[in-house]
Amino acid sequence: MGKRILVALGGNAILQPGQKGTAAEQVTNIDNTVKQLIDVVEKGYELVLTHGNGPQVGAILIQHEMAKEAIPAMPLDFCGAESQGLIGYMLCQSIRNECAGRGLKKESVCIITQVEVDPHDKAFRNPTKPVGPFYTQAEAEQRIAERGERWIEDAGRGWRKVVPSPEPKGIVEKEVIRDLVDQGTVVIASGGGGIPVCRNDQGQLYGVEAVIDKDLAGERLALDVGADIFVILTDVSHAILHYNTPQQKPLEKVTLEEMKKYIEEGHFRAGSMGPKVRAALNFVKKGGERAIIARLDQVIPALKGEVGTQIERVCSKINYSC
């Protein structure tokens, strides 16, 4: 068998900027993405997928809010599970169709994935992740008074609820995911960072209202399934030093020690490239062969080492076979 790769899809794989988010738009975007992913499968790689879910879970929250007088609104962990099924359905169907069109015999399955977090994680004391629709200040203040929620003003666009973003501790379904990957199945798992859950004193799981960063959860999943390469596909071609300044410089081949230094110097913002770089660094630090940050449409040249930011323990001078 070929090398095993975990691909973390950015939001642009499912919904492009300026689109409304119709079913047809999302299916078309996913079909285009899947064509490139099946190119990877045809090269002999074992493929595991994870993905973001921000626009989708945001739409689900709005739907629940607007219909709350008719049916009970569901909590955030339920909405996250709903989005995993929605996106997983589109990805699985597209993968099956693309493989059939190429004469490939390949099974694909989506696992609704729970990701364990620590109930004492410091993030629960300081919620920072905006979720859901925008509200007026008066509406936000009413919900704060009635429900005890945390809200912030978001860049002049209105007020949004914020929830904790705790660190992922482990993938609850990791054994079954790995078994399926070992059988050659293309597995979609841990969508949107997974459904955050904690354990009570009896070891039983329960959902919590939080959002786990999907790249950090992807790193955890990549290690749990024994991936050789962790690929983060996004809307930019590289991680960049001195971003948006005249001195900006794309990072190409980078060692662990170099990337640690750049993180300590504060080059990567917490809300954008920061988690991607940290996830990639952690994967290699914990035993992964290589981590890549690259643009969505460049997955094959990125695997060859020709484009993107390539993070290794010690940078090699070779070109990777693909």
218 is catalytic: no
Q: Alpha-carbon distance 202 to 176, whole Å?
A: 23
Residues 7/233, Cβ–Cβ less than 8 Å: yes
Amino acid at 57: V
**In the β-sheet with 253-255, what is the strand arrangement from edge to edge?**
108-111, 186-189, 46-51, 4-9, 229-234, 290-295, 309-312, 253-255
214 is catalytic: yes
2 is catalytic: no
276 is catalytic: yes
Q: Alpha-carbon distance 296 to 134, whole Å?
A: 29
Residues 20/37, Cβ–Cβ less than 8 Å: no
Out of 129, 191, 194, 288, pick the active-site residue.
129
249 is catalytic: no
Question: How many residues does the structure list for the chain?
Answer: 322
Out of 54, 80, 193, 276, pick the active-site residue.
276
The 3-state DSSP class for residue 234 equals strand
Out of 192, 214, 282, 305, pick the active-site residue.
214
Out of 10, 12, 52, 88, pick the active-site residue.
12
Out of 10, 11, 192, 305, pick the active-site residue.
11
Closest CA to 283 of 291, 271, 275: 291
Q: Alpha-carbon distance 319 to 321, whole Å?
A: 7
Q: Alpha-carbon distance 5 to 187, whole Å?
A: 11
Strand-pairing partners, residue 214, are: none
> Which residues participate in catalysis according to the annotation?
11-12, 129, 214, 276
